[in-house]
Structure 1
């Protein structure tokens, strides 16, 4: 249930879709299994089995976008196409030209698609209408953009805004290391990356190893800034903050796991309980992190 990566956005005050209206909007792009001749397809599925496309618990909304892609390697297509080209060469007495080879590959692809395996990828989205968060569990901008693009097709206009903070994460993380002091309610963990802002892009990484305060200051004085920093919030959630304000490797600590064990009577109740715990804790953590970065900046 817990999101592993957080791409964080803001909903504008114009957000007003709830209940059946949101469900109907998502249904415009509901997932339909691809046919034998479709290379890929994408759409919304139920986050919880036997539920709706928008799963709502205590005002918190969870969505799941499914992408299906046929696994058909280019080497296989090329091998079969080469064999076909040789047959055609024998028949017509000369090698197929560029356009003819393109057509051969297209025909081979169409023939092989029905036998190709489908790979499924689910990307989850959390919407907090009360505090206006929209969070995508995605490790890359491409996957987040994919989700936003589908949402924009369902909801027009789509009231989404980027999250801006007063102090850049790189500047803030660099200051925390230089001062050897994390912001209130946070602690600095072992993984750290410092990178030169010059053309060389030289980087120093500490993996599962704490950086000494003197070493940190020495790297900073040489012109490096902290671009990734492992941290823990309130002894409850560990994560890695990046210079782009992405939050990666999110992990609830034992104090949260233990407190939520044995509370649900069945799988559906456990799903909802885990969802409430995650959204409640992450909302607090993100609010405090924004505050630690100087507060939200309005453009």
Structure 2
């Protein structure tokens, strides 16, 4: 269980809740699956097949939001609706207006939904109640927001909020690149994106960041919006201006610690999850320091 894209939310440190109470709340909104005319269904599912809704290891909790979506392309609905409209026009000798055409498309959607293929997916989230983190693993901001909204529906008064820091990620990253110096514990890698106030964007991939050309971009007012970094030679990632962590990769030195441990798949899963949560919690602590910490009222 290795997360790849992190959306970060804050919870109170030493959050006073327990897995039994949380699981009871999640159980009210489990995935029911799509009925015949449902285009989509979402709900909580066990992160491990046959397990409970909260997979708990060393006071770290893993949750999974399941979703089923009917695959019904608009082009298919439009084609069937068009055929239906022609039948009506030929049978009744009249033209179909826009309003009636919309009604036909809605009717065809309901008719076709029971025959549509179903696509299933899961979005995982990790709760660290001790250090106060809710971390959602998703490359899509919309799916991360979907996870958070469902958790808020399930848990009354959920004290989760977007992570705030004193120094904006863009300002901090621009300073690091301009000076050529990474914050303590980090190194700067070779992927970079800069953007001007007019939204003009310059991207560098596998490119040294030491050149005068990059500093010239910064001197003319461009700011860094994406920067590849490595933390303690253990985790590489890309930080963006929205304080999201992308392309998280656990390097060989870390994964070697997990190799060969555990006698079965369940044990190996728990070892991987324990290593991941422990390392990422330390990474986040160091990243907060690099960004000036959190506002005093934050925690």
Is TM (by shorter chain) over 0.5?
A: yes
Specify the TM-score bucket, using the shorter chain as the normaliser.
Answer: over 0.9
Deviation string, structure 1 residues 107-129 (Cα, Å, up to 9, x no partner): 21122112111112211100000
Number of the residue aligned with 2:284:
286
Contact kept, 8 Å, 1:164 with 1:298, in 2: the verdict is: no
Question: Which is worse superposed, 206-215 or 184-193?
Answer: 206-215
Structure 1 residue 146 and structure 2 residue 146: aligned?
yes
Number of the residue aligned with 1:50:
50
2:21 is paired with a residue whose SS is helix
Deviation string, structure 1 residues 49-71 (Cα, Å, up to 9, x no partner): 12111110000000011111100
Q: Which runs of 5+ in 2 are unaligned?
A: none
Instruction: State the TM-score, normalizing by the size of structure 1.
Output: 0.96
Deviation string, structure 1 residues 211-239 (Cα, Å, up to 9, x no partner): 22422321111111111100000100000
1:123 is paired with a residue whose SS is strand
Contact kept, 8 Å, 1:180 with 1:213, in 2: the verdict is: no
- 1: distance between equivalents of 2:14 and 2:69? 34
Equivalent of 2:294 in 280, 293, 296: 296
1:28 is paired with a residue whose SS is helix
1:192 is paired with a residue whose SS is strand
Shift of 1:244: 1.1
Shift of 1:87: 0.8
2:190 is paired with a residue whose SS is strand
- 1: distance between equivalents of 2:47 and 2:80? 40
2:52 is paired with a residue whose SS is coil
Shift of 1:14: 8.6
Structure 1 residue 272 and structure 2 residue 287: aligned?
no
Pairwise mapping of residues 25-44 of structure 1 onto structure 2 (< 5 A)?
25-44=25-44
- 2: distance between equivalents of 1:288 and 1:79? 55
Number of the residue aligned with 1:68:
68
Number of the residue aligned with 2:222:
224
Contact kept, 8 Å, 1:177 with 1:213, in 2: the verdict is: no
Contact kept, 8 Å, 2:14 with 2:130, in 1: the verdict is: no
2:51 is paired with a residue whose SS is coil
Structure 1 residue 6 and structure 2 residue 27: aligned?
no
- 1: distance between equivalents of 2:17 and 2:132? 12
Q: Which runs of 5+ in 1 are unaligned?
A: none
Number of the residue aligned with 2:160:
160
1:193 is paired with a residue whose SS is strand
Q: Which runs of 4+ in 1 moved over 4 A?
A: none
Contact kept, 8 Å, 1:69 with 1:120, in 2: the verdict is: yes
Shift of 1:103: 2.3
Contact kept, 8 Å, 1:12 with 1:161, in 2: the verdict is: no
Pairwise mapping of residues 181-260 of structure 1 onto structure 2 (< 5 A)?
181-196=181-196, 198=197, 200-260=198-258
Contact kept, 8 Å, 2:12 with 2:129, in 1: the verdict is: no
Shift of 1:104: 1.6
Deviation string, structure 1 residues 67-120 (Cα, Å, up to 9, x no partner): 111000111111111111111111111022223222221221122112111112
Instruction: State the TM-score, normalizing by the size of structure 2.
Output: 0.96
